Amino acid sequence: MQTTAKNSALFLALITTISACDKKVEAIQGFNIKPQITIATTNRSSKSITDSMRICALTTTVKRLKVSYHDGNKNIAQVVVKSSSNHAVLKYGGRSVKDFLPIDQNELDLDFENTQEEHTRLDFTITDKLGASDHATYNLFTFKNLAPIALLEYQLEKDGKYILDASKSYDQDRNYGGKIAWYIFKINDHEIKSRNPTIAHFLNEKGSHQVALTVIDNLGQSSTTISKTIDFNPR
């Protein structure tokens, strides 16, 4: 009986000790400041960014992003990054980094490299020594070249003279140096290849005339050909 009573007393003491420890942990966690992590590119900073990058065949194309940490208690345990791509490379200071990022600085300049056309998702998680965490996500779409878009307008001036205007045509990757190099107009069976987006053409025969436009970008990719019908009815 004495042994049983002694064991019960020890068990109660252990429960009391554990309970006191739990309360201390809860108290500490109550004062803990949750760590923060953000991602920044050239023109924005957020916890979730979607971006794009054109791949250049001649040089290594790099996307620079800045990862920032903030922890009021200065007790960061780890910063982890997970990539959805098997081809993308993330570099810090010229060296590839995988899984764990350095935690001895508040900001890291990372270089993202990828030679494949795909969507890559980078998930960043910062965790402190008390288990509090925060997350940020970076989505990047890499592409080699996007086809230009052909747009055509026309206007009758006088005596059968029409102005064919393709100046609103554009290259979808114009933010990456893409531009229209050639404008190919086809009026009935007559083709005109021009560097100028606007040309003049005279119609002599009454009736319907088919006008088509194809544009080609500076990397040699053609747009979808569009066409319009001009009804010429001179008085």
Compute the average pLDDT of residues 82-99: 93
- Domain boundary (143, 175, 201) is at 143
50 shares its domain with 100: yes
- Domain that residue 185 falls in: 148-232
Check pLDDT > 50 for residue 11.
no
- Domain boundary (143, 176, 196) is at 143
State the amino acid at position 14 in one-letter form: L
Q: Output the domain CATH number for residue 220.
A: 2.60.40.10
| Three-class SS state of 235 | coil
Q: Is 5 a domain residue?
A: no
The pLDDT assigned to 189 comes to 87
Compute the average pLDDT of residues 159-172: 92
Query: Structure pTM?
Result: 0.67
For 233, residues 6+ apart whose C-beta sits below 8 A from its C-beta are: 206
Do 6 and 96 contact (CB within 8 A), yes or no? no
Q: Is 53 a domain residue?
A: yes
Assign 32 a pLDDT band (cuts: 50, 70, 90).
Answer: confident
The pLDDT assigned to 232 comes to 82
The separation between the first and the last C-alpha atoms of the chain, rounded to the nearest angstrom, is 123
The pLDDT assigned to 163 comes to 92
180 shares its domain with 130: no
d(CA 42, CA 109): 12
Question: Which residue would you say has higher pLDDT here, 63 or 42?
Answer: 63
Check pLDDT > 60 for residue 113.
yes
124 shares its domain with 210: no
Q: Is 1 a domain residue?
A: no
Question: Which residue would you say has higher pLDDT here, 226 or 32?
Answer: 226
- Give me the chain's average pLDDT, please: 86
Q: Is 10 a domain residue?
A: no
90 shares its domain with 43: yes
Report the number of distinct structural domains present in the chain: 2
Which residues, in sequence order, are bridge partners of residue 140? 51, 120
Check pLDDT > 80 for residue 127.
yes
Assign 42 a pLDDT band (cuts: 50, 70, 90).
Answer: confident
Where are the alpha helices (H) located in 42-97, listed in sequence order?
none
- Domain boundary (143, 163, 186) is at 143
Q: Is 211 a domain residue?
A: yes
